Amino acid sequence: MATTNISALLLGELQSLCTEARRKHPDIKEAAERVIVILRGIKTTTATFEEIAQELSKSDEVIRPFVLACRSNNQRLISIAMHCLQQLVSRQAISPGSIRETLTTLTHVSAQGVVDVQVKVLQMVLPLVTIYGDSVCGETLVEAFALCLALQRSRDPVVSNTAAAILRQVVVAVFDRVVAEDRELGLPGTSEQDLTRKSAKDAYFVLQDL
């Protein structure tokens, strides 16, 4: 049932994007239609949810209509896009090559100052860092931190407090990566960190900025 629901949800939202974007945003409509073709090519009646997410994560095209919608300045299109991005992010259905673009898009849309959108943006930051850890490192991780810090300065207390809470959790997640990697390599917890390792390097720079 869950697989049917997520497939139906994405198809329904993509069709809504096509309808809303038909006249003024043909590029969004075309991008949405391409993802509909991808989704319909997956045998959702027999595939497990994990298989559907895995198939979606193979294509960088999957996030394209939502990226374009977030940059359209059309609040209806943005609302649809944010809902779909939340679903894709939380279910690990975004390709590793699209993670940086996803974060850049979230930064762009959050700058418009719409509180509900900013909260949804923040709700995606932590899963991006934790679920897609291998892709959210270095400059991409810096962008995630910058996004949280920018929203922490919001005058809206809900946005500011949410950003502060997410930022704390992201810091913890970064250091948890180091611990997990140490265990995987069989290193003692007190060992000197090798800054050529991505997780240790990220944690070092976070520590420098705290």
Whether the pLDDT of residue 21 is over 80: the answer is: yes
Residue 195 to residue 116: CA distance in whole angstroms: 39
Average pLDDT on 50-69 reads: 94
pLDDT in tens, 146-181: 999 999 999 999 999 999 999 999 999 999 888 877
* Alpha-carbon distances of 10 from 25, 71, 141, rounded to whole Å: 19, 19, 28
Average pLDDT on 44-71 reads: 89
pLDDT at 58: 94
Whether the pLDDT of residue 100 is over 80: the answer is: yes
pLDDT in tens, 107-158: 999 999 999 999 999 999 999 999 998 899 999 999 999 999 999 999 999 9
Report pTM: 0.87
| Percent of the chain surpassing pLDDT 90 | 69
pLDDT at 3: 46
Long-range own/partner contacts, residues 154-157 (CB < 8 A, 24 or more apart)? 154/118, 156/115, 156/118
106, with CB counted inside 10 A (0-12, 13-18, 19+), is buried
Whether the pLDDT of residue 19 is over 60: the answer is: yes
Question: For the chain, what are the domain ranges?
Answer: 1-94, 97-210
Residue 63 to residue 56: CA distance in whole angstroms: 9
Least confident of 9-13, 44-48, 69-73, 100-104: 44-48
Whether the pLDDT of residue 7 is over 70: the answer is: yes
Average pLDDT on 28-54 reads: 87
